[in-house]
């Protein structure tokens, strides 16, 4: 594939676009000369050998696959004709029908990587239009497998929900880490020690879930059965509304995702 595939990333100068570019280059999915990236004002000093431009249509004309990585609010004025091309959006809220009409192509994919793409650990759900064929699907899977792991999901409703759950990426663990770190500091723990302790807890948990074929519910129940300090903490958090707060947050994210699609 790398010998013939040409990929363009609109917004390649941004954080997410750049993370995707780095991942697909590292995976050998494309060679540098077959990668085009656009930027707004100042060309980033990276991806030597790739083509940089401020003209998005020029990028599209040079590419077989076009990845649109801009803020949803900046997308409506993006006048790019992608006729005959595979177009992949990584924008929240913008629907397949909107992408197809706006960019003049029926081969469209809606996806949502998260911030962990920078370290090859993103989870990316994606959904495709009817015109996307098996070769297109292979390309999409290759792109997002290079960024971490990915699933083709059944509907755009699934994408809307996962916008909050997985699209938020490290935001939710970061929120938990902040609360834990602040509490530790309030109890006299040195900030550096608190930071290292909290980071180690989250990294360790992530690697444990990744390696062990055990669902999170089983881990929770195992700690509850010990009836020790962890069980006391879990029961207190639940009584304080921990799970209800999570549901409330995911519901708010889902509603926001739907509203963004309606306003685009």
When pLDDT is cut at 50, 70 and 90, the band that residue 264 belongs to is low
Is the pTM here over 0.85, yes or no?
Answer: yes
Both tokens assigned to 80: 């790019």
Q: What is 7-154's CATH number, 3.40.50.300, 3.30.470.20, 3.30.420.40, 3.40.50.720?
A: 3.40.50.720
Angle at the Cα of 1 (from 106 to 143), degrees rounded to 5? 60
List beta partners, residue 203: none
Q: Which of 128, 125, 164 is nearest to 148 (CA)?
A: 125
Mean pLDDT of the chain: 95
Smallest CA-to-CA distance from 20 within 91, 94, 113 is with: 113
Q: Are strands 35-38 and 7-10 parallel, antiparallel or unpaired?
A: parallel
* pLDDT at residue 197 tops 90: yes
| Cα–Cα distance for residue pair 19/67, rounded to 1 Å | 12
**pLDDT tens digits for range 220-251:** 999 999 999 999 999 999 999 999 999 999 99
Tokens of 75: 């997308």
pLDDT at residue 214 tops 80: no
Architecture of domain 171-263: Orthogonal Bundle (1.10)
Q: Where in the chain is the domain with CATH 3.40.50.720?
A: 7-154
- The bridge status of strand 122-128 relative to strand 108-111 is antiparallel
What number of CA atoms fall less than 13 Å from residue 72's CA on the CB side?
19
**What residues contact 177, with CB distance under 8 A and at least 6 apart?**
198, 199, 202
242-263 helix and 229-239 helix, angle to the nearest 10 degrees: 50
Residue 142 CA to residue 191 CA, distance in Å, equals 41
Per-residue pLDDT at 1? 60
Q: How far is CA 192 from CA 59, 100, 184, 187, in A?
A: 46, 50, 11, 14
Residue 209 confidence (pLDDT) above 90: no
Every domain range in the chain assigned CATH 1.10.3730.10: 171-263
Residues 42-97: pLDDT tens digits? 999 999 999 999 999 999 999 999 999 999 999 999 999 999 999 999 999 999 99
């Amino acid at each position: 594939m790398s010998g013939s595939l040409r990929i363009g990333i609109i917004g390649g100068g941004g954080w997410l676009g750049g993370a995707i570019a780095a991942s697909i280059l590292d995976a050998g999915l494309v060679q540098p000369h077959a990668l085009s990236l656009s930027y707004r004002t100042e060309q980033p000093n990276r991806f030597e050998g790739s083509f940089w431009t401020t003209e998005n249509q020029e990028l599209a004309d040079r590419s077989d696959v076009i990845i649109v990585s801009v803020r949803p609010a900046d997308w409506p004025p993006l006048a790019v004709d992608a006729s005959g091309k595979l177009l992949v959006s990584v924008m929240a809220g913008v629907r397949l029908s909107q992408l197809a009409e706006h960019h003049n192509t029926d081969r469209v994919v809606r996806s949502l990587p998260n911030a962990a793409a920078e370290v090859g650990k993103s989870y990316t759900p994606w959904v495709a239009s009817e015109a996307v064929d098996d070769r297109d699907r292979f390309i999409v899977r290759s792109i997002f497998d290079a960024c971490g792991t990915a699933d083709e999901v059944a509907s755009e409703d699934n994408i809307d929900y996962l916008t909050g759950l997985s699209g938020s990426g490290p935001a939710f663990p970061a929120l938990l880490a902040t609360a834990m770190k602040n509490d530790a500091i309030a109890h006299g723990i040195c900030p550096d020690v608190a930071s290292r302790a909290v980071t180690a807890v989250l990294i360790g948990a992530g690697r444990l879930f990744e390696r062990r074929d055990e669902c999170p519910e089983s881990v929770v129940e195992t700690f509850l059965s010990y009836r020790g300090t962890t069980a006391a903490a879990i029961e207190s958090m639940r009584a304080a509304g921990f799970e209800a707060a999570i549901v409330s947050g995911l519901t708010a994210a889902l509603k926001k995702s739907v509203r963004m699609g309606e306003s685009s």
